[in-house]
């Protein structure tokens, strides 16, 4: 009976951890963690301000992608960041949650989400005149629950009116892949650079962190006790893969 109770407790704990998730959407469709999203949506009003007053139109270009964020639970401590990854970096604007805006090359807002209610992330770029210029802006968008930054979700947002760029599929999914063979974790990640593997017990305590040698390889987990673990593989741009594994 005691073993059954322990097993049920572990399963409930695992469900609770997994249930607390943040998900970005683009035009109503979920964005996979680590994906790249392309948007050409602009603020149409800035193109025409002045017309109604008999003045020349402003003819200004400002990107306003349709990005929303959803939490699977009620949460009062959600952080959202918007960081320019252009070179050189450019100013952006983030007005999530309350309509007040954070501006700069790295913007952050904190606020509340109601479970399963999508909230507009309110991401904007600075306006550019004249509007007939070809402009591309790139940003890293991330979100996490306070105290859980290691588990943040991220994606790359490309805002552009360049048709050659928009010819790429609207959402490019992460190609990260993780599998277990015995007690050896095999991984294949998209993108170069340093990645770090984090393993957590069902109580949320970190039991292992290891720098991965390359975008493909394997890690032996035979030193861990038998049980269920949650893993996250993170790179410079945020989380690349996360999920659950079983060590036997």
pLDDT tens-digit series, residues 14-32: 444 445 789 999 988 898 8
pLDDT for residue 134 is more than 80: yes
Domain with CATH 2.60.40.3080 in the chain: 175-247
Q: Please, are residues 73 and 114 in contact by the beta-carbon 8 Å criterion?
A: no
Q: Return the closest-CA partner of residue 47 out of 147, 108, 133, 155.
A: 133
Query: Would strands 22-26 and 123-125 be described as parallel, antiparallel, or unpaired?
Result: unpaired
pLDDT tens, 139-165?
Answer: 999 999 999 888 889 999 999 988 777
- Confidence at 10, pLDDT banded by 50, 70, 90: very low
Q: Which residue has the higher pLDDT, 49 or 30?
A: 30
Give the number of other Cβ atoms within 10 Å of residue 154's Cβ: 22
CA atoms of 26 and 196, how far apart (whole Å): 28
Q: Please, are residues 143 and 69 in contact by the beta-carbon 8 Å criterion?
A: yes
- Under DSSP, the state recorded for 83 is E
Q: Which residue has the higher pLDDT, 1 or 87?
A: 87
pLDDT more than 90, % of the chain: 38
Q: Which of 5-9, 37-41, 78-82, 223-227 has the highest mean pLDDT?
A: 78-82
Q: What is the pLDDT of residue 136?
A: 92
Q: According to the CATH classification, is domain 175-247 in 2.30.30.90?
A: no
Q: What is the largest CA-CA distance in the chain?
A: 81
Q: Which residues contact 163 (CB under 8 A, 6 or more apart)?
A: none
Write down the architecture of domain 22-172 according to CATH: Sandwich (2.60)
């Amino acid at each position: 009976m005691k073993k059954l109770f322990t097993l049920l407790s572990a399963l409930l704990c695992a469900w609770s951890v997994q249930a607390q998730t943040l998900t970005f959407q683009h035009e109503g469709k979920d964005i996979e963690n680590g994906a790249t999203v392309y948007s050409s949506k602009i603020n149409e009003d800035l193109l025409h301000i002045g017309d109604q007053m008999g003045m020349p139109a402003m003819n200004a270009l400002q990107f306003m992608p349709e990005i929303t964020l959803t939490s699977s639970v009620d949460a009062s401590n959600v952080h959202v960041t918007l960081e320019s990854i252009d070179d050189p970096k450019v100013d952006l604007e983030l007005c999530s949650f309350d309509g007040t805006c954070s501006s700069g090359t790295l913007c952050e807002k904190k606020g509340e989400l109601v479970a399963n209610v999508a909230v507009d992330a309110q991401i904007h770029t600075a306006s550019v005149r004249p509007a007939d210029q070809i402009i591309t802006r790139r940003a890293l968008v991330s979100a996490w629950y306070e105290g859980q930054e290691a588990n943040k979700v991220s994606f790359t947002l490309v805002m552009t009116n360049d048709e050659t760029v928009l010819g790429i599929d609207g959402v490019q999914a992460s190609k990260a892949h993780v599998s277990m063979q015995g007690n050896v974790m095999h991984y294949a990640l998209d993108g170069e650079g340093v990645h770090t593997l984090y393993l957590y017990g069902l109580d949320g305590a970190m039991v292992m962190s290891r720098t991965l040698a390359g975008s493909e390889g394997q890690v032996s987990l035979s030193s861990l006790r038998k049980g269920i673990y949650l893993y996250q593989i993170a790179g410079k741009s945020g989380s690349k893969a996360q999920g659950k594994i079983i060590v036997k």
